Structure 1
Amino acid sequence: MQIRFLHDPSKDTGFVGSALTSNMIRFFKTKDGSWSHEVSISVKPLKVQNWILPEMPGLITDFLISLDDRFLYFVNWLHGDIRQYNIEDVNNPVLTGQVWVGGLIQKGSPVVAVGEDGQTWQTDVPEVQGKKLRGGPQMIQLSLDGKRLYVTNSLFSTWDKQFYPELVEKGAHMLQIDVDSEKGGLRVNPNFFVDFGAEPDGPSLAHEMRYPGGDCTSDIWI
């Protein structure tokens, strides 16, 4: 999993994601000059039915920090949501945006989540340009102005085959999430859909994204 420091070089703090436990861990330098850490954000596993296990982790597979260090974004590949947290107070992250763009518990899936009251539920996942969203959000990249978050949905081909076989058959896609970079908030852009299932040599599995001149996850941004 990735390690991200705050972009401000005067700040001795950063985050690391723990995929299987679905925790975001903050590490920081203490007053005595030593390093310490704490669980900053924790995504609880969902109780589910019709799956291989009785509980399903979110499975955080990628995260990033906006260039102004105000927001942290991460994805839950199995649950299917993208989250935005305000981290201006790094000791108290606040959830400010969340969208569902796939996952194993979306409506139409045989897998259902079970709430604390025993009621089952599934998520509403929109179609984009008439296309059903496949797989779950996996890699993300943020524009330098912090207003456009791009997401692809392939993790590893072997994992894709196990958890999202339709993704391998029909190919991956890339979405654009519009970001409210002032107050916080996320919205799926209905006009942006890159279909890697339509490649000339057959369906492709899209993974990493980069800006040519550097980006929020790079040390060579401009």
Structure 2
Amino acid sequence: AGKCGACGPGYPSPLEAMKGKCWPGKAGIRGDLSQALPAGPREQLLYVPCIYRNTGIGLPDFLATVDVDPESPQYCQVIHRLPMPNVGDELHHSGWNICSSCHGDPGKSRDFLVLPALISSRIYVVDVRSDPRAPRLHKVVEAEELSRKANAAFPHTSHCLGSGEILISCLGDPEGNGKGTFVLLDGETFEVKGNWEKGEKIPKLGYDFWYQPRHDVLISTEWGEPKVLARGFDPSDVEKGHYGRHLNVWAWGGRRLAQQLDLGAGAVPLEVRFLHRPSAAQGLVGCALSGDVRRFHRNADGKWEVEKVIEVPRKKVQGWLLPEMPGLITDILISLDDRFLYFSNWLHGDVRQYDISDPKHPKLVGQV
């Protein structure tokens, strides 16, 4: 939903988003049920980044628009393709210009999709407001601007902020060295404003991140050095320290690195998610190479701790890089009611569902 009555974009809380309800008034304050507005409409369109890099097909990546309206004659069909103007970008994650972080501002709306390109270091901004069924390219932020204004490259995760700005994590610097830095984009012009972080202490590596202002924290993960990733996976590079092993804890208000949680060599923590309940000072992170999921949480002393709560057994194989291959956990997702965790066990070829009603003791309840 773009706007909802007197509200701004989205919903006051993830749980209310799941219920499809929006309460007028201040953001985050749930009003009387008698004041509940009608349930928001079901999504009718999906936007899917499609990547050609390393396929041998010399075409630009494109954004596919998929019709997911069950009443439509084009249900589950790609109804539009928006090709990028360049070849070899490798579109990766995507994010909105505005989201529920701006729920209290009725002047904001979700109009643009932000598409960082992992290899070319471009950032594409796509207009989905003018014609949602046929998005159009609005702006290209070139790699040169990221380099000149932030000494950053290889952008990955994009999140919209309550300030109206857009925060993007990066994997490294323009030379391909690892650097866990962040860049800020202006939410109106999409110009690079500079680095988000302050101080000289910056993690060696970067990848994904999630923030929780109520607990004054941002947590980022680590993949690998871009110039090492470019030459393909070599197990010896893990031993040499070219791949990630830390969860990096930042003070949200001060924008400074406050703590590093060492997960051990070969962990390679990728996707990180807080529980959606705003009061919950805990979350989960998928560790790709070690094939496990760790729970992170804040202890009574205000420090953050981490523990392993899920471990996927390795499989014995022949002709692979390792004699026993991990599942290589990639994307993870937590349901809006914080009841289930889903993750793709990529190399093993399955998707798993865990009941995380007790996040300390997840239970496998589904597998495809």
- What's the TM-score once normalised by structure 2's chain length? 0.33
- Structure showing greater radius of gyration is 2
